[in-house]
Homo-oligomer: A and B are copies of this chain.
């Protein structure tokens, strides 16, 4: 597996990426803004601009169904096929994985339709093992 190179992060990008890494789970842009106010952040655009770059570099993923962002679990996803996410609706835990076989089947479908695939969003909702074991 090759990890694609990306430019050094700017100060704002590092702060945003750091907040996501520390969180160990998804954060909304406004939650990141609140965390980084003590570092001088004042406006949402500072967060969104950093997130745009981090997503572009493959260091962060956007979770569409949560309107939130999460640090990549693989030190950058650029090197392999797209990622998928299992999201526990009880505790909020997010597990990232890379279902290359399933994505290939989806790609077979798009290829058959002449659809040029550029990005996949796969988000699974449910109850994780530890939450399902309770009571």
A66 to chain B, nearest CB (A): 9
- By a CB distance below 8 angstroms, the chain B residues around A102 are 102-103, 105-106
Chain A contacts to B: CB under 8 angstroms: 64-65, 84, 86, 88-89, 95, 97, 99, 101-103, 105-106, 109-110, 113-129, 132
Instruction: Collect the chain B residues with CB atoms within 8 Å of residue A113's CB.
Output: 86, 95, 128-129
Chain B residues, Cβ within 8 Å of A127: 115-116, 118
Which one of B97, B105, B126 lies within 8 Å of A117 (CB-CB)? B126
10 A-B contact pairs sorted by A residue (CB < 8 Å): A102-B106, A106-B124, A114-B129, A116-B132, A117-B126, A118-B125, A120-B122, A121-B121, A121-B125, A122-B122
